Structures are given as structure tokens and as C-alpha cells.
Amino acid sequence: MPLRDKFDLTGKTALITGGARGIGRACAEGLAEFGADLALVDIHAGNLAAARAEPAEAWGVAVETYQCDVTDETAVVRLVDTVADRFGRIDILLNSVGITIWQDTVGMSLEQWQRVMEVNLTSTFLCCREVGRHMIERGGGSIISIASMSAHIVNTPQNQVAYNASKAAMIQLTRSLAAEWASHGIRVNTISPGYTLTEMTQTVPEHHPGWCERIPMGRMAEPDEIAGAAVFLASDASSYITGHDLVIDGGYMCW
């Protein structure tokens, strides 16, 4: 098969959590550009309403939106069943839900720690488990989770121990699933962005200059600069890649 054809996602369905804004939204647009139908999932009705407001021709593929708390096991089971029934298949799962809490460790409550772990890690496990069941039955698929360079380094000046730990655990979860499910034709990988201009980081513009000083490329990423990696890992162009963490950090980890 020509390499160009391996990027074609026509006829495939992608379920994207956190898919209505930020990195998830940018990845959704990228996957749609290469032909994948979309199931966009978000907990916020307003984000989903904005996605639904896009004219169908802007997406060029079938798009459905689903409001769901992906930390709720029952809700995730129902979500995956609903999407599978609607589209008849789930070929791609992109986990793009995440929160952070900036807090010194000695001041962090157990509730804060648990909330970050629940949103960043437990939701990824639940979505992988339920979509994994479906993919095993169908004989394959690609699962991609948005981790972070914070899985590899300790950020400065902000202290975010729970976020860093949750993203590191996400990578090990991914490697474990990659080994466990390889025989079922399921590939499982992570993307680890560096500082990216999303709704989350735009709330703290005062930190941008200090962050950019530590990035060899001298700037933060745009969300669509993460989307290309998602298309690659979702497609047959990456058919021999599993258990891998693809870092997109503008060179931050070089220094």
C-alpha cells in the first residue's frame, strides 16, 4: 500500500474524550480531515453545543456529541455502548481529558490528589477498558492518550505533584495495555505535549515568558501541532508502533 494511503481514515470511527476544545478538539479536526467519523465527548454542555454549531460541511464527516463524566464507570460503559451502536464500530480512542492543580505537596489535600488522579488516570483506564472490549471483539484498533512532558520532567516554577504523577502513570498504563493487547491487533500509545496554548494555559499568561525561555524553539505549541501525531498514531502509517510515548515539546527536554 502506498504510504499516502496508509494515512486514510475513511470509514473509521474515533471516540475522543475532551474532544470539544483544546488539544482534543484540534486532534478531532485532524482525524476528520483524514476521513474519520467522530464521537466527541465532553463533560461541559457548552463546549459540545459549540461543536454542534459547526456546519456539517466544516467537518466533512459524521459527527455526534455526547455529554459524559468519564470518571463515572457506569456512564463510560453506557457511552461506549451508545457510540458502538450508533456508528457500528470504534476504531480509534483518543483520551484527551485532563486537569491540574498547582499546589505545594504539604498543602495538597487528599481530595485534590484524588480528583487529579480520577480525571487524568482513572478516566483513561475506564475508557481504555471499555473501548478495549469492543476492539478485541472487532479484532483491532488504535488507542491514543494525551500524557505530558510532565511525565518525564518536573515543571517549574509551579508545583503540580499530582499532575506529574498521573501523567507518568498514564504512560505505564499505556505500555502495559500495549503488551497485553498486541495479540488482539490493538495498538496503544501516548502523546506527551509540552506547554501548549490551550484554554488551561491561557489562564496564566504571566508564566508564558518563563516557560518559553526553557524551550529551545522559544515558543509554546499550538494545539494543531499535536494533531499530526494523533493522525499518525491512529493510522496504518504507524502499524508497527505500540507502547510508545511521542514527546512534542519544542525541545524542552533537551536542556
For the annotated catalytic residues, the residue numbers are: 148, 163, 167
Sheet holding 37-42, edge to edge: 63-67, 37-42, 13-17, 92-95, 141-146, 186-193, 245-248
From CA 122, how far away is CA 42, in angstroms rounded?
16
Omega before residue 157 within 30° of 0, cis: yes
Crossing angle of helices 22-33 and 224-234, in 10° steps, is 50
178 neighbors 247 (Cβ within 8 angstroms): no
Residue 198: helix, strand or coil by DSSP? coil
Using CA atoms, how far residue 168 sits from 77, 152, 190, 243, in Å, is: 25, 7, 11, 13
Candidates 100, 210, 118; CA nearest to 160 is 100
211 grid coordinates: 516557560
Q: How far apart are the C-alpha atoms of 27 and 14, rounded to whole Å? A: 10
